[in-house]
Chain A
């Protein structure tokens, strides 16, 4: 039966081996679409790396995600007394970490895409851009845990303080799109960094250091109102600042970041993506040859 099925396959696939004519955005995008089924394969494979060969198994994921948040809430909230604008500090930290982690985790994992699949990249051809995209999947595990924690936390605060801090407003509908924006920024940046990480080992350390600093320079652990007004424009230039602030605004119904800042963040992401797309395709061949 299986044999007959194979014979009568309606559309035989045609494989053409042709010379690569360099960078054509549309050809590249079409080729990427042609190989789309590989995305799931690599995403699943990358996801398993998270807990393979550990003793606790998948339990690591929530532990790794929630301990920094819980400790951070005590230290930043009650030791440093960082103001949280009328919302319990823990809730503020959970919400802003959610939008930050949708950027941080996927970026770090996406950057390792080529490096982790070295053995495959050197042996067979497929559009390499699949790797940074698919390898972002383990980075989503953390934010998923945070979402679960958040949904448990909201009724808890309803019972203890009598307030629903997150209300069903039209702004809340924007929240998923804001998370997608941070994922998009993560992907745009990993188009650049995944090639660097494949080439130099310290690129990964550098990236880890850089991420730590970037988080401090984004209003994650503090609200942006703490930044002196005359320097605030500088902070808005950081594309993650409007994203994190917009996410908080959509959840708590606060003031939205200024329109120019949102436009700047969007523009920065699009430019980073377009240039990254070009950079990746012009360099991938040379970079994979040297692996």
Chain B
């Protein structure tokens, strides 16, 4: 005999208590919405497209292959003992996660306006749920990465990737990237709700950002007069940390990593504060 549903869950219609802890508790309470909202974002991604699922493969493997052809084959970049393909794939994993998650986190409020009109969902959940396509691409690129590691293991007899205690760095890097994405999402999604050009601006920004981040090239190739850019770019440190976690060669520069961490935590905390405050104001208006 199971207890009646009414006895199991109690719904109270009351204004949300202010403060971070109340928000966190509320988010936890509504956690099951994440599944629904994430699925919605994924469906949105492939909606009204002709090629449908081919879109999964085109943006993963093809850019890597063409970049290898150009930057290794023509320009002749060095990647310090690791095959360039592997070097590029490792850098691509956190970067593509960052870009895709960022694009969708920024659109989170605009996309779910219809849902918000019908159901009460804490808005903080929306940018979090919009991480789904990013995580999906992370998985796809991880598959590419693992298969290329296996390929080089068989072809060259060495896996190049060394797992050990330093591999924690990779996980730390991915967590930091997630926090950075959420920070940006909290700040920018309210703006993107009204300004339709927001995502086109972001597309422009991320192409330049890609160049400024050591993915195609190694951070050690950057001449000293440009080191300030590496310092201001948190993604540079996170990608270095991710690479260190897998290859175990050069650990990330401690000063730069700390700066990146501080910038990221500030963006995350500030974004959360801005986002929840704005939500409260909106409720009163």
Residues of chain A touching chain B, judged by Cβ–Cβ distance below 8 Å, are 53-55, 64, 67-68, 71-72, 74-75, 78-80, 82, 200-203, 205-206, 209, 212-213, 216-217, 222, 226-227
Contacts and interface: CB of A to CB of B under 8 A. Distances in A.
B222 A79 contact: yes
Contacts of B48: 200-202
Interface string B193-232: 0011100000010011001100011000111001000000
Given A71-B208, A75-B211, A213-B62, A80 B71 contact: yes
Residue from B70, B207, B216, B221 having most chain A Cβ neighbours under 10 A: B70
A222 B51 CA distance: 33
A226 B49 contact: no
A74 B226 contact: yes
Given A216-B67, A216-B70, 20 more contacts: A68-B211, A72-B211, A75-B212, A79-B221, A79-B223, A80-B217, A80-B221, A201-B48, A202-B48, A202-B50, A202-B55, A203-B50, A205-B55, A206-B58, A209-B63, A212-B63, A213-B66, A216-B66, A222-B75, A227-B74
Chain B interface bracket (under 10, 10 to 19, 20 to 34, 35 or more): 20 to 34
Contacts of A53: 195-197
Most buried by B among A79, A82, A212, A222: A79
Contacts of B96: none
The majority secondary structure among interface residues of chain A is: helix
Q: DSSP class of B's interface residues: helix, strand, loop or mixed?
A: helix
B49 A201 contact: yes
B207 A79 contact: no
B270 interface: no
A200 B50 CA distance: 6
B211 A71 contact: yes
Contacts of A209: 58-59, 62-63
B74 A54 contact: no
A167 to B, nearest CB: 28
Contacts of B55: 202, 205
A79 B70 contact: no
Contacts of B204: 64, 67-68
Contacts of A217: 66, 69-70
B111 interface: no
B77 interface: yes
A209 B67 CA distance: 13
A209 B207 CA distance: 12
B226 A202 contact: no
B208 A67 contact: yes
Given A79-B226, A82-B75, A209-B58, A55 B49 contact: no
B107 to A, nearest CB: 15
A187 to B, nearest CB: 24
Contacts of A201: 48-49
Contacts of A79: 217, 221-223, 226
A226 B71 CA distance: 11
B166 to A, nearest CB: 26
A203 B55 CA distance: 11
Q: Which 7 A-B pairs have the closest CB atoms?
A: A202-B49, A200-B50, A216-B70, A75-B211, A201-B48, A71-B208, A213-B66
A80 B70 CA distance: 12
B158 to A, nearest CB: 27
Contact of A78 (B67, B74, B207, B226): B226
